[in-house]
Amino acid sequence: MSAHNDSAFLRMFLMILGSLVAFTVIIFILAHLITGSVEEARGPDPRLRAIVAERIKPVGSVNVAVANAAPAAPKSGAEIVASACNACHGAGVLGAPKIGDGAAWQQRLAAAGGIDGLTASAIAGKGGMPPKGGAMVSDGEIKAAIEHMLDKSGVDVAAAASAAPAAAAAAEPAGPVEAVKQMADNAVSAAKQVAAAVMPGAAAPEASSTASAGPDVAHGKSVYDAACFVCHTTGAAGAPKLGDKAAWGPRIAQGMETLVHSALNGKNAMPPKGGRMDLADGDIEAAVAYIVSQGQ
């Protein structure tokens, strides 16, 4: 009887225990389903994502510049003058034409053949001025700077721009007849040069007549107007002014040969040939002769 009761109790106990286990499993499954649907509706936890991203982020990063960035806008002429040109053109350093000196700028314009020639000279450098005045700017910005300085000096920029094409048109031959004549003159000149190279004696009479005539003072004036006026008109860097007999007297007394030698090789602040290495020695000699004629 006792064994039967024990068996019944054991079966009852196992049934109750199994029911409890089944109930726990059912509750766990229901809880998982409920929380899973809630998390799915809510989405992943941003805090958890931030923690994961922080843990897996790389040690460094690479920043790539925008390839199609717009180029910087060109600077105005006033800005270029303020940053690069004022250093010399504000005070007239080394014979640079001063801003406000209309006469000096007109001479430069005439010598360069207009605004385009003056711009080309500034881009390439001239005398003591390095190319583009040492500034890292575009050709267009250099032209804008020159136009600004001309405007501040009272020079009509529009008239200066139109003067060059008119001068170029005037310099062109009027028609085919003039063009043929020019070609013939060039051919004769070339033939004379060849003859002088082959038979030096053939050119002796012309050379002697030229030597006896002396330097061409009229040509020297044109050379002066194109190159020497920069310093000798204003007296820049201690250069004796044109026509100043007191300043030129002691220099003329040294002799023409000494003056020409100094002009060709440079003296004090003046570079060789006044910085115009494109001029021939005869051009420099003619310019010296002109200056001497005005200082006697």
Same domain, 238 and 154: no
- Domain-embedded: residue 32: no
Q: Residue 173's pLDDT is what?
A: 46
Same domain, 81 and 166: yes
What's the token pair of residue 13? Answer: 């106990």
Same domain, 81 and 164: yes
- Domain-embedded: residue 234: yes
Helix axes 157-171, 115-124, angle to 10 degrees: 100
**How many angstroms from the chain centroid is the CA of residue 75?**
12
CA atoms of 116 and 155, how far apart (whole Å): 15
Q: Residue 119's pLDDT is what?
A: 86
Q: Residue 209's pLDDT is what?
A: 41
- Domain-embedded: residue 207: yes
Q: Residue 266: which of 233, 223, 225, 237 has the closest Cα?
A: 237
> Which structural domain range is residue 285 located in?
203-295
We report the CATH number of the domain holding residue 249 as 1.10.760.10
**Biggest alpha carbon–alpha carbon distance for the chain:** 166
> Total structural domains in the chain?
2
| Total-model pTM | 0.37
Same domain, 138 and 213: no
- Domain-embedded: residue 97: yes
Same domain, 144 and 209: no
Q: Residue 26's pLDDT is what?
A: 93
- Domain limit, last residue, from 170, 193, 211: 170
- Domain-embedded: residue 13: no
- Domain limit, last residue, from 120, 151, 170: 170
- Domain-embedded: residue 178: no
- Domain-embedded: residue 216: yes
Residue showing tokens 């005005």: 294
pLDDT average per 10 residues of sequence, the chain (296 residues): 75 89 91 75 71 78 62 82 82 80 84 84 81 84 88 77 50 50 57 51 41 72 82 80 86 87 83 81 89 84
CA angle 24, 26, 30 (to 5 degrees): 115
- Domain-embedded: residue 25: no
Q: Residue 183's pLDDT is what?
A: 56
- Domain limit, last residue, from 145, 170, 195: 170
